[in-house]
Amino acid sequence: MHVFVAGATGPRTREVPDWNVTVPAWSRACGTAS
């Protein structure tokens, strides 16, 4: 859910230390959801 909030708020990659882990996780969820 961090990805959705961060994306909606803006490019706040600095506030997301787990970006490297959140991106792949979100990518898998998006691919699975689709």
Return the pLDDT at 13. Answer: 54
- Please tell me the pTM assigned to this model: 0.28
3 is written with which tokens?
């990805």
Return the pLDDT at 1. Answer: 47
Rounded Cα distance between 30 and 27, Å, is 5
Return the pLDDT at 33. Answer: 63
pLDDT in tens for each of the 34 residues of the chain? 445 555 555 555 555 556 667 777 777 888 776 5
Return the pLDDT at 32. Answer: 74
